[in-house]
């Protein structure tokens, strides 16, 4: 045990003294979260929209005013007919068209309901989603205000149409994805680099010719990164709660436990990489190409899995990040408990055991 | 409790790194493996330190088989690889403490063993290992390899890239360690260091050329060696190569070492020959053969 603590202490010296890895460890998560966060919030700042008003009455003008006075939208132009919609989208500047039906105000008073159609340019699905969400919010506010002032219940309904990409379903939430990427990066890449560094510098030779058992060496490498990754996960969650007002609906403890599980999965992948790679450079390339790309492209972080072709959907099942994203989306956004995500959790545990098994099998007790 | 090798061979992808190596190192002996780069010294060390498994043959270190009992060997030997293999970002003291901990001992416990060496690097104990000079690095590496009082010490080219003064100090240290009953196997490409070992094995291209004490090895040398100097040193070798009775000639320090085919070389005859070829300030004298002469002779065959 004393040996082990000595080893872990040495590992911390390495991390603390290597400014580059310190930066990757703590600079990157914060930078990424902030970048993603502000990029998203900036996108819905003064978005240019067009109005197609078939009614042109007091009610529509009031709603248009509300939109124009919010900081989210700026009205670029007024259209006269539906046929113009595609044309403005193709110019690319206008991201959404608000379409008021004929006799909008009259219907609202007489029938108690009328409809707004929001046509969003869904070539950029994330922006399109945000835009409709914000318009929805404005309309809800409006509904509340008319119902408070008058008796009865008049309602403006919103109908959305995602132009060019009507299939889009998933609500893009960047935090689960970024958290997954960062935990993967820190855990898998940093461990594999730090193990291969010992090989490259020749210190592995001395460690092998010592009473330390190979699993103690590996465990000693992994423990510091477990601790650092947990700290990272906490930073990310705190940043998203306090800076981006992201709600965490479910249990924080469950979120924590699942994150630790995913950290261990990534670490076992990192160990596996280090059994294959001989140099730090290769370890880094394998981590980046073999882990980061699939995580970004195939995990459902950016592109919805349901809209992928079948072969890719099957491949995405083998990516641990996919299951972790489902789990944390469930916990953070839907507030579900373990009963709803036990299957994904079990898959992650199974993957971890598999990676560890292969690593132990492949781990070299000698130089070749 | 020394080292023994029996018919050890090892090849990498068809390249024969070492072939049929057999020798014994007695307990408490300072044994040198002498040979140029690529002779197979490092492969041999790695087999003995359990880092590689030989293709054929058996070997034992301190009475333990290198394959079956590799765990036992790893606990009881000290190994200093050829490449500087300590943590460059850790200080001198942290490196020592780290190796002490992983061997389950402390700096204080075996301090008497490393005292002489450690005292020399102690003024720099808060310095990072990467910022030490070559000689200092080797001293620190030796300390780390000794910290657990190993029975057998493996030093792979410990003096390569070290200045002559530090090299001498290093060998003095090895001599002192030998008094503490540690078996030492050391390799070096420097022939002059061979004379400092109890026994040496001369090695080239993966094969052993000779094993004996340095003294016996040079005594066995069959020819008289002449050292020859002249003002035009480069031309001297050229001219000697054209001498009809030449057996061998090669540079040795500021002179060249020359041997003749015959046993009764007349110095004036050679001197006249050199003069006739336009050389000046000629010096010719008989000298003691060295390990290097033996090595060159063995390598010729």
Interchain contact, B102 vs A210, CB within 8 Å: yes
Report, as an integer, the average pLDDT of A297-325. 84
- Cβ-defined contact of B77 to A209 (cutoff 8 Å): yes
The residues near A339 (Cβ < 8 Å, ≥ 6 apart) are none
Chain-chain contact of B89 with A207 (C-beta, under 8 angstroms): no
pLDDT at A168: 38
Residues of B in contact with A211 (CB under 8 A): 71, 74-75, 102-104
Listed range (A181-185, A247-251, B129-133) with the worst mean pLDDT: A247-251
Residue pLDDT, tens place only, B55-75: 999 999 999 999 999 999 999
Q: Identify whether the C-beta of residue B240 lies closer than 8 Å to the C-beta of residue B246.
A: yes
Length of chain B: 301
Lowest mean pLDDT among A31-35, A328-332, B182-186: A31-35
Looking at per-residue pLDDT, the higher value among A128 and B206 belongs to B206
Q: Where are the domains of chain B?
A: 3-213, 225-300
Give the chain B residue nearest A9 (alpha carbons): B98
Q: Give B89→chain A minimum CA distance, Å.
A: 7
Beta-carbon separation of B98 and A203 below 8 A: no
pLDDT surpasses 90 at A352: yes
Which class would CATH give B225-300? alpha beta
Asked if B81 reaches chain A (Cβ–Cβ under 8 Å), the answer is yes
Split at pLDDT 50, 70, 90, the class of B24 is very high
CA distance between the termini of chain A: 28
B89 vs A5, A17, A365: nearest CB:
A17
In this predicted structure, what is the pLDDT of residue A162?
A: 58
Each residue's pLDDT tens digit, B123-144: 999 999 999 988 899 999 999 9
Q: Where are the alpha helices (DSSP H) in B56-128?
A: 70-76, 92-102, 111-121
Question: Nearest CA to CA, how far is A9 from chain B (Å)?
Answer: 9
Chain A residue with Cα closest to B84: A202
pLDDT of amino acid B211: 93
SS (H, E, C) A175-195: HHHHHHHHHHHHHHHHHHHHH
| Min Cα–Cα distance to chain A from B17, Å | 15
Q: What's the token pair of residue B1?
A: 């409790």
Residue B104: list chain A partners with CB under 8 A.
Answer: 2-3, 211
B79 in contact with chain A, both atoms CB, cutoff 8 A:
yes
Using an 8 Å Cβ cutoff, are B40 and B205 in contact? yes
- Is the predicted pLDDT of residue A24 greater than 50, yes or no? yes
Q: Which residues of chain A are within 8 Å of residue B85 when distances are taken between CB atoms?
A: 201-203, 205-206
Question: Above 0.90 for ipTM, yes or no?
Answer: no
**Which among A3, A206, A365 has CB closest to B104?**
A3
> For residue A53, what are its two tokens?
């008003």
- Distance (Å) from the alpha carbon of B78 to chain A's nearest alpha carbon: 8
Distance from CA of A11 to the nearest CA of B (A): 10
Q: A367 to chain B: nearest residue by CA?
A: B51
Q: Which residues pair with A113 in a beta bridge?
A: A155
- Contact residues, chain A, for B50 at CB < 8 Å: 208-209, 366
pTM, two decimals, is 0.77
**From B70, B77, B87, residue closest to A203, measured CB to CB:** B87
Residue B19's pLDDT band (cuts 50, 70, 90) = very high
The pLDDT assigned to B27 comes to 93
Tell me how close the Cα of A273 comes to any Cα of chain B, in angstroms: 21
Q: In B, residues 196-235, which contact A (CB 8 Å cutoff)? A: none
- pLDDT of B76-127, one tens digit each? 999 999 888 899 999 999 999 999 999 989 888 888 888 888 898 999 999 9
| pLDDT per residue as tens digits for the range B160-210 | 888 888 888 889 989 988 998 899 999 998 888 888 999 999 999 999 998
Contact B104 A203 (CB under 8 A): no
Residues of A in Cβ contact (< 8 Å) with B75: 210-211
Which domains are assigned to chain A? 2-39+171-362 (no CATH), 44-163 (3.40.1710.10)
> Does residue B50 carry a pLDDT above 90?
yes
Same fold, B3-213 and B225-300: no
**B160 — contact with chain A (CB < 8 Å)?**
no
The stretch A45-63 carries a mean pLDDT of 84
Could A6 and B53 be called an inter-chain contact, meaning their C-beta atoms sit closer than 8 Å? no
Adjacent-strand bridge partners of A142: none
Q: What are phi and psi of A320, to 5 degrees?
A: -55, -35
Q: How many CB pairs under 8 A join A and B?
A: 78
Give A60-98 pLDDT, tens digit per residue. 888 888 888 887 888 888 888 888 888 888 777 888 888
- DSSP 8-class letter at B211: E
Residue B147: burial class (beta carbons within 10 Å; 0-12, 13-18, 19+)? buried
Q: What is the mean pLDDT of chain B?
A: 90
**Chain A interface disruption, residue of B101, B152, B155, most A CBs within 10 A:** B101
Q: Which residue of B has its CA nearest to A200?
A: B85
Q: How close, in Å, is residue A186 to chain B by CA atoms?
A: 21
Average pLDDT value for chain A: 82
* Mean pLDDT score, A352-360: 91
Report pLDDT for A161. 62
DSSP single-letter state for residue B226 = E
Q: Provide mean pLDDT across the span A44-67.
A: 84
Contacts of B84 in chain A (CB under 8 A): 202
Q: Determine contact, residues B21/B44, Cβ cutoff 8 Å.
A: yes
Q: What does the block give as tokens for A213?
A: 């058992």
Chain B positions touching A18 (Cβ under 8 A) are 89
CA-to-CA distance for B159 and B79, rounded, in angstroms?
A: 14
- DSSP code per residue over A51-74: EEESS-SHHHHHHHHHHHHSSSEE
Q: What is the pLDDT of residue B22?
A: 94
The answer to whether the beta carbons of residues A196 and A278 sit under 8 Å apart is yes
Q: Which of A17, A203, A368 is the closest to B85 by Cβ?
A: A203
Report the pLDDT value the prediction gives residue A165, as an integer from 0 to 100.
Answer: 42
Residue of B nearest to A206 (CA): B79
Residue in B closest to A217 by C-alpha: B102
CB atoms closer than 10 angstroms to residue B146 = 22
Please give the average per-residue pLDDT across B262-274, as a whole number: 87
- Min Cα distance B220 → chain A (Å) is 38
Predicted pLDDT at B200: 94
What are the DSSP calls for A313-347, one per residue? HHHHTT-HHHHHHHHHHIIIII---HHHHHHHHHH
A interface with B, Cβ–Cβ < 8 A, is 2-3, 5-7, 9-10, 13-14, 17-18, 201-203, 205-212, 365-368
Q: Yes or no: is domain B3-213 CATH 3.50.40.10?
A: no
pLDDT recorded at residue A41: 52
Mean pLDDT over residues B235-248, rounded?
89
């Amino acid at each position: 045990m004393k040996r082990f603590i000595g080893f872990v202490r040495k590992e911390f010296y390495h991390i603390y003294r290597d400014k580059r890895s310190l930066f990757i460890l703590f600079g990157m998560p914060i930078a990424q979260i902030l970048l993603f966060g502000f990029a998203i919030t900036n996108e819905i700042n003064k978005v240019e929209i067009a109005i197609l008003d078939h009614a042109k009455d007091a009610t529509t003008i009031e709603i248009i005013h509300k939109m124009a006075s919010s900081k989210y939208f700026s009205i670029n132009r007024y259209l006269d007919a539906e046929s113009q919609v595609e044309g403005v989208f193709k110019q690319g500047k206008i991201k959404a068209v608000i379409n008021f039906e004929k006799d909008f105000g009259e219907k609202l008073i007489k029938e108690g309901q009328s409809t707004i159609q929001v046509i969003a340019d869904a070539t950029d699905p994330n922006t399109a989603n945000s835009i409709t969400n914000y318009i929805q919010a404005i309309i809800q506010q409006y509904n509340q205000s008319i119902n408070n002032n008058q008796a009865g219940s008049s309602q403006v309904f919103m109908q959305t149409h995602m132009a060019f990409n009507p299939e889009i379903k998933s609500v893009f939430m960047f935090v689960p994805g970024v958290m997954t990427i960062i935990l993967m990066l820190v855990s898998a890449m940093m461990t594999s680099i730090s193990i291969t560094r010992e090989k490259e510098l020749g210190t592995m030779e001395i460690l092998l010719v010592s009473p330390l058992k190979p699993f103690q060496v590996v465990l000693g490498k992994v423990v510091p990164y477990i601790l650092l990754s947990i700290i990272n996960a906490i930073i990310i969650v705190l940043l998203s709660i306090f800076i981006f007002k992201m709600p965490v609906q479910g249990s924080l403890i469950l979120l924590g436990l699942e994150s630790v599980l995913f950290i261990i999965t990534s670490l076992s992948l990192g160990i596996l990489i280090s059994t294959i790679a001989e140099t730090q450079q290769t370890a880094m390339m394998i981590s980046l190409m073999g882990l980061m790309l699939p995580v970004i492209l195939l995990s459902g972080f950016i592109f919805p899995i349901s809209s992928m072709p079948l072969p890719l959907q099957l491949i995405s099942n083998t990516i641990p990040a996919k299951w972790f994203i489902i789990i944390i989306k469930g916990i953070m956004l839907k507030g579900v408990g373990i009963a709803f995500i036990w299957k994904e959790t079990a898959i992650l545990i199974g993957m971890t055991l598999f990676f560890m098994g292969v690593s132990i099998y492949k781990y070299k007790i000698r130089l070749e | 409790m020394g080292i023994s090798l029996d018919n050890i061979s090892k090849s990498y992808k068809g390249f024969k790194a070492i072939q049929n190596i057999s020798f014994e190192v007695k307990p408490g002996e300072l044994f040198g493996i002498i040979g140029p780069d690529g002779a197979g010294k490092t492969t041999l060390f790695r087999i003995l330190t359990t880092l590689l498994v030989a293709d054929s043959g058996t070997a034992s270190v301190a009475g333990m088989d290198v394959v079956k009992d590799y765990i036992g060997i790893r606990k009881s030997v000290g190994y200093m690889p050829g490449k500087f293999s300590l943590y460059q970002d850790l200080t001198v003291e942290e490196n020592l403490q780290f190796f002490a901990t992983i061997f389950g001992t402390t700096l204080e416990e075996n301090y008497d063993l490393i005292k002489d060496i450690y005292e020399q690097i102690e003024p720099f104990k808060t310095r990072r290992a990467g910022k030490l000079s070559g000689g200092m690095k080797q001293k620190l590496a030796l300390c780390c390899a000794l910290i657990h009082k190993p029975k057998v010490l493996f030093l792979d080219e410990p003096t390569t890239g070290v200045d002559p003064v530090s090299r001498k100090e290093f060998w003095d240290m090895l001599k002192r360690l030998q008094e503490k009953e540690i078996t030492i196997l050391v390799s070096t490409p420097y022939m002059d260091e061979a004379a400092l070992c109890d026994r040496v094995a001369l090695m080239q291209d993966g094969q052993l050329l000779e094993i004996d004490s340095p003294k016996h090895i040079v005594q066995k040398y069959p020819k008289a060696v002449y050292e020859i100097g002249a003002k035009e040193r480069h031309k001297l070798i050229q001219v000697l190569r054209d001498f009809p009775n030449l057996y061998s000639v090669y540079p040795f320090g500021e002179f060249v070492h020359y041997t003749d085919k015959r046993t009764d070389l007349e110095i004036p005859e050679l001197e006249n020959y050199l003069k006739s070829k336009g050389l000046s300030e000629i010096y010719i004298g008989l000298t003691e053969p060295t390990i290097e002469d033996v090595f060159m002779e063995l390598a010729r065959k």
